[in-house]
Amino acid sequence: MSLSLQKNAFFGRRKGPVVIVVLDGVGLGTGYPGDAVAAARKPVFDNLMATRPWLKLAAHGVAVGMPSDADMGNSEVGHNALGAGRVFDQGAKLVQNAIDSGALFAGQGWREVVEQVRARGTLHVIGLLSDGNVHSHIGHIKALIANAKSAGVQRVALHALLDGRDVGETTALEFVEPMETWLASLGPGYAIASGGGRMVITMDRYEADWSMVERGWKTHALGEGRLFPSASAAIRAFRAEKPGVIDQDLPAFVVARDGKPLAPIVDGDAVVLANFRGDRAIEITKAFLGEVPFERGRRPDVAFAGMMTYDGDTNLPPRILVQPPVIDRTMGQYLVGSGARILACSETQKFGHVTYFWNGNRSGYLDQSLERYIEVPSDRVSFDERPWMKAAEITDATIAALDEQAASGKGFGLARINYANGDMVGHTGSFVATRMAVEAVDLCLGRLLPAIARLGGIAIVTADHGNADEMYEVDKKGGVKVENGKPKAKTSHTLNPVPAMFFDPGFAGEWELDASVAQPGLANVAATALTLMGYVPPSDYWPSVIRFRQG
C-alpha cells in the first residue's frame, strides 16, 4: 500500500529530524519511597520537565487497547499505539471476547486440536500461568481446559511458565496450587506436567538467548530434567535451596509419576500455546514447526496451535485460535510513502518494539531504501547486574547514524529509539539497580539531546508504560509492604501515566500544547510527531497534542 501525506506550513522549519525517545518503563509515579524514577539523579530529565513543554499520557488500559483500565500497559501495545496513531483492541481483549462469545471454541483451530486428541492422545497447553494479562491470562488457560473436558478430551497436560514479572515476584504458588486442585477435580488425566521460570525457559524473544528455548523444549517436549511429584513441590524445593529467588528465575522442573515424566509430548498429541503476545512466543513455536539453532532430538508430530498469530509476515503459526488485530496505515507507512527517511535503534531486548510492533506487527523493512534499523546486541546477564545495559551504545549508534545521514544531504525525517533500562531492570525487582538504570539513561539523554540540537532537530521524550516508578508493593493503606524486614519488591508494570517532553531548540513560539485534547495517550504521539515534521496527520489518527499559533 502506498500512502502519502500533505505538508503543513511548518514543513522545512527545522532542518533536523524529529526523534522519538522511548524511556521504556519510566512512568510518572507518586514519589513514594519505592519510586526509583523520583529517587534517581536525573538532571537532564528534570530540566526538561522544568523548562520545556510537557504533558502526561495515558499508557495503560483502554487507552492502549486493553480490556479495562485495571489492566497494565506493556511494551507491545504501547509501541503499537505509538506507531499506529490509533488504538486497536489488543490480544487480551480479543481473546477474552472470543471466549465469552464462544467464537474461539467454534473456530477451526480449536476444533482441529480437539479432534486430534479426543479419541486418544494428550492435549498439551503451554502458557504463562498468571493473571498479568500481558502475555497471557490464567482465565484463558482454564477456559481452554474446561472446554477440552466438556468436549471429551481425556488427558490434558499443562506446562506452566511461572511469572513473577507481570505479577508479584513470589506469587507462583497462588496460581499453581489452586490450578493443581482444580485440574485434579477434572479427572486423573488432568495435571501440570512441567514448568519453570519465564526468564529461564521457553520465553526468549528476538533470539537473544536460544538456550532458554532449548531448555524449555527439553522440559516440555522431551520430559527431561529434574523430577518432582508436583509443580508446587518443585517451587517449594527451589525456594528452600535458594532463599530469595523470584518466580521468573526458578529452574525448570518435570512432574513425574512412578519415577517417569508424567506427560512428555509424543506423536499424535496436540499442543496449544496459550500466550497471546507474539514476541516471547515465536521461538518456542519455531521449535515445534520450523528450524532452530539447537538439536531437538526427538521431534514429535503434533497438531500445534497458537492463541494468535505471532508473526504475521511468516504466518506463524498457521493454526491459530483467535484472529489478531489488523493494524493498518501506520505512521511508518505514511512516511515512506511520502519519501521521508526513518531511523530505528535499540538493543536486542527492545529492537522488535521499535521495528515490528511500531510497524503494526510487521517484521522487516517497509521500504529499505528509506529506512535504517540498528540492533545493538544485549548482554546475556541479569539486568540488575548491569543496569546501564546498552544505553551508551544505543546513543553512540544513533548519533553516528544521524550525523552520517545529515552529512549525505539526505537526513532522516524521523528517528525512534528505545532505552530498555527502566523496564528490563525494573522487572528484576532491585530498587537500587533500577535507580541506577534511570540515571544511566539520563546520562545518555545528556549526550543525545545536544546532538539533536546541533542538527536542528526536535526530540519527543516519552515512555511506553510505567515500571521503574513503582518498585515496592503497597498495602491497602498506601504504605510500603514489608517482608522479612525489607520492602517487598514489585516487578510488574504500573498504571501510572508517562511523560511526553518536547525538546525544540529552534523554538520561536510557533507552537504550543493543545489543552483541548481530552485525555491524551500514547496514540497521540504519532500525529504530534508528524505535525512537527511538517505533515498533516491522517484525519482518523488521534490528534496532535500541539497546535500552531496564529500569526
- Residues serving a catalytic function are 75
Judge whether 122 and 113 are in contact, CB under 8 Å: no
Please count the CA atoms within 13 angstroms of the CA of 253 that sit on its side-chain side.
Answer: 27
Distance CA 193, CA 271 (A): 13
Distance CA 464, CA 14 (A): 26
Residues 6+ apart with CB under 8 A from 415: 17, 18, 19, 20, 342, 343, 344, 345, 398, 401, 402
Coil, strand or helix at 371: strand
Alpha helices in 14-137 (DSSP H): 36-39, 43-51, 75-84, 91-101, 103-106, 108-118
Residue type, 126: I
3-state secondary structure 474-506: ECCCCCECEECCEECECCCCCCCCEEEEEECCC
- First-to-final CA distance of the chain: 37
Residue with cell 504466518: 315
Residue type, 236: R
Judge whether 283 and 248 are in contact, CB under 8 Å: no
Distance CA 368, CA 421 (A): 28
Judge whether 211 and 380 are in contact, CB under 8 Å: no
Q: Which cell is 15 given?
A: 532542518
